[in-house]
């Protein structure tokens, strides 16, 4: 049975991008609640944007080391469906925060040059054991600071048994995503800067080309 790789477009900041990205066929849209990011949206603004979200398109909130109060306040204003913890949150912290607002969550694992395949498997086990609300790992490239890296890591580090459960991120583009999906076979891919005209502004043609490139990988015979 052919697998359809899901696509998340992160860093949505305005109504026009939201409408165009949803119409292009994205499965999930990401909203950044990390003030230092150029793609940051205030909770009230995000709530306005979510009012235009079509059915069956998932809203994902990206947080970096949020306090319980910050998360609760955001969710009171903005009905996000899925949380993405992108900081240094431990498994127990993620479990407590997710339980507080009763939302499932992804945990970003920032892959270093010395990361081993067993590290990824062990991390997934720890977070899955910590919470029934854990949905999976998002794999990004390690850089100083937080947020998207825009850089590729060594995809061969991803264990074959883990790949169908992960969200692949980090340096993906229209040019490399067909190869990435063909090699890794992740459940989903995540992109932000690779489909932008400027920071926080999406390029509709790049978004459509990226989704087509993912579909091209899914249509490769035998994959």
Point out the residues that are catalytic: 10, 140
**C-alpha pair distances (Å), 134 with each of 61, 112, 155, 197:** 14, 22, 23, 33
Question: Where are the extended beta strands (E) located within the chain?
Answer: 6-9, 28-32, 58-63, 82-85, 105-111, 134-141, 167-168, 188-191, 196-198, 201-202
**C-alpha pair distances (Å), 118 with each of 108, 125, 165, 213:** 16, 10, 15, 30
Distance of alpha carbon 47 from alpha carbon 39, whole angstroms: 15
Residue 151 corresponds to which tokens in the numbers above? Answer: 């850089």
| DSSP count for the chain of H helices, then E strands | 7, 10
Distance of alpha carbon 166 from alpha carbon 131, whole angstroms: 17
């Amino acid at each position: 049975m052919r697998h359809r790789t899901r696509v998340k477009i992160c860093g949505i900041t305005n109504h026009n991008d939201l409408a165009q990205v949803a119409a292009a066929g994205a499965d999930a849209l990401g909203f950044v609640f990390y003030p230092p990011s150029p793609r940051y949206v205030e909770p009230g603004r995000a709530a306005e944007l979510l009012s235009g979200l079509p059915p069956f398109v998932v809203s994902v909130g990206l947080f970096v080391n949020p306090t319980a109060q910050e998360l609760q306040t955001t969710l009171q204003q903005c009905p996000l469906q899925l949380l993405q913890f992108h900081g240094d949150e431990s498994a127990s912290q993620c479990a407590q925060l997710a339980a507080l607002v009763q939302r499932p969550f992804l945990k970003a694992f920032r892959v270093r040059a010395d990361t081993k395949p067993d590290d990824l498997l062990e991390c997934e086990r720890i977070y899955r054991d910590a919470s029934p609300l854990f949905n999976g790992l998002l794999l990004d490239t390690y850089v100083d600071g937080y947020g998207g890296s825009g850089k590729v890591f060594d995809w061969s580090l991803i264990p074959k048994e883990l790949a169908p459960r992960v969200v692949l991120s980090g340096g993906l583009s229209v040019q490399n995503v067909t190869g990435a999906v063909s090699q890794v076979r992740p459940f989903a891919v995540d992109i932000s800067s690779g489909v932008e005209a400027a920071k926080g502004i999406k390029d509709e043609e790049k978004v459509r080309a990226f989704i087509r490139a993912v579909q091209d990988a899914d249509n490769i015979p035998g994959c």
